[in-house]
Chain A
């Protein structure tokens, strides 16, 4: 086995990959290079093109196994790859596991830690601003489950990119008669944009509103004030995916590995 493939669906052209994907790639590469293997990443515009790439790779034998990211419920790529006979490993939430190789991430457990960080600081009304991808809805569901169990007032809002995205949804949230004292953003970009909006409204962070980002990045670290975030374990997840693939191919059996839980990196925004 020499070449591992990763297909990324990006509907709009982008110059570089998002930080979480880069982190996974670099961790994976670290493992592969040690075994004198290679990682190829191919960018496509939609999921039909993604399947076409797997078909082409299977025909040309130019790639020996693939990594699946951004799993969805009943993801059709799994059956597709199994039918082709292409070995793969997926990055999946605990709730998405099946009879295939995967690195499992426990979003519910991580959400529990995040919410505890806020409720410990006296927050009783919290809004979760979700993202576009399906994994975000798993996190949103975990957030609402925490609200029911923990007895705080929790709401989920989904920004509409066409209608102003993070900025507009933040304004709507804070225009409420009884606005929340904490906002959790599903990604670093929205959190950084939301922070700017909150400050533009004349409110202070964390005095009036606390801000948390689900995934940590340089944006969170260099924002003013710096943004509290869940630690970025992408590099470790990437290394585990590499191990899972190597074991899968060596043993012919599905290999399940568990990613370490992210922890809260406490900064100035909470």
Chain B
């Protein structure tokens, strides 16, 4: 890392904490070298971090002539962050330690078409239940990150419309949950969270740009540029679900027609499966809007086990996604892409194969560099883990501030 931390920066403390976090085990001398600060400043900052219990001394390093340096590391178990994925099909809560390592999770019924204030009341109660179940004190929680689908208004605080949960339009999630729970709440788009989750768990260097395609009920895309979420004018970048794939295609709820979401998302796949009554009966599809995601999972699991009709349906969906991703890769000269979210939980390998093959053979820059595709290892939990990362980052390392208005 370049020497870029000025001693006058008010975020110096958090920057040093982040250097310790990303370095694993470091000495004060290492910190002087990587930060460009004076030894006296580092000593002073480390002292405050240690008195807050955020950093501990773990032993001695190798001597390079003088006395052996004391090693420092993040006191991972000293504080916790909560991440919540507000999803139609299931509410997922994860709790991570300071290092982003999972210490527990709770899953309960999804938000479905429940009235938002009722959901907030339930979340507040479930947060208390979860902390009791994990034996964690409220005072050790730095904040609660919330990942949800939809648009944010100009203040950045309101998570707005989605097809599946129209009541959430104009409902102030952050304010309502803060008032109910007493925790500091951070709100971020679910696809951006999924992307941040990949970044935060340390699999990707901060210098690398990448995109995460996130599929749950809808489809979104988180773009990480130089370690931060790219937000655009209103923190709403990444709506790849409304990229127009077929100008004469079916009408979309957004006002356009032929959007990716109308062609490739779980609803489109389930509708095609329902049109084949033999297939729908043999899979036991319900066709109820409230069971949409379960119906999709049934199709995806049958496809993963080789059912030809289901394989064809998933391949068709994957083909549309691949076309959108070729356009995205061409537009921003992407060389790294992750597939994440519950939409890939069961038939991820089919999506992976088709998207990889098409990017290999059709991306415009393929003769210059390949586009590396991976299925996210954090899979279903990626949005919730990313939301926890947003809380950790915003609270502990604000110099890395996420690009949104939170």
Interface residues of A (CB under 8 A from B): 3, 5, 13-17, 22, 25-26, 29-30, 32-33, 36, 38-43, 56-57, 60, 62-63, 218, 221-222, 231, 235, 265
Contact = CB atoms under 8 A, between A and B. Distances in A.
Given A26-B380, A42-B134, A56-B135, A15 B129 contact: no
Contact of A15 (B100, B109, B294): B100
Contacts of B377: 15-16
Contacts of B78: none
A38 B107 contact: yes
B133 A57 contact: yes
Nearest to B381: A16
Given A14-B102, A62-B132, A38 B380 contact: no
A25 B90 CA distance: 12
Interface in B60-100: 76, 90, 99-100
A214 B212 CA distance: 30
Contacts of A16: 102, 377-379, 381, 385
A33 B375 contact: no
A15 B102 contact: yes
Contacts of B107: 25, 29, 32-33, 38-39
Interface stretch (B262-270, B273-281, B346-354, B396-404): B346-354
A42 B349 contact: no
Contacts of A42: 103-104, 133-134
Nearest to B345: A26
Contact of A5 (B133, B349, B379): B133
A170 to B, nearest CB: 23
Given A15-B385, A42-B134, A63-B133, 10 more contacts: A13-B101, A16-B381, A33-B90, A33-B107, A38-B126, A38-B129, A40-B134, A42-B133, A60-B132, A222-B353
Contacts of A17: 102
Given A30-B294, A39-B106, A14 B129 contact: no
Q: Which 6 A-B pairs have the closest CB atoms?
A: A221-B349, A13-B101, A38-B108, A16-B378, A15-B201, A62-B133
B349 A29 contact: no
A142 B379 CA distance: 33
B109 A33 contact: yes
Nearest to B350: A221
Nearest to A220: B349
A30 B105 CA distance: 15
B304 to A, nearest CB: 8
A26 B76 CA distance: 28
Contacts of A26: 345, 380
B399 to A, nearest CB: 23
B301 interface: yes
A200 to B, nearest CB: 21
B7 interface: no
A127 B348 CA distance: 30
Contacts of A29: 90, 107
B117 interface: no
B212 to A, nearest CB: 15
A15 B106 contact: no
Nearest to B201: A15
B110 interface: yes
Contacts of B50: none
A22 B379 contact: yes
B336 to A, nearest CB: 16
The winner among B90, B110, B133 for most chain A CB atoms within 10 A is B133
Nearest to A221: B349
B305 interface: yes
Interface in B105-142: 105-110, 126, 129-130, 132-135
Contacts of A221: 304, 349-350, 352-353
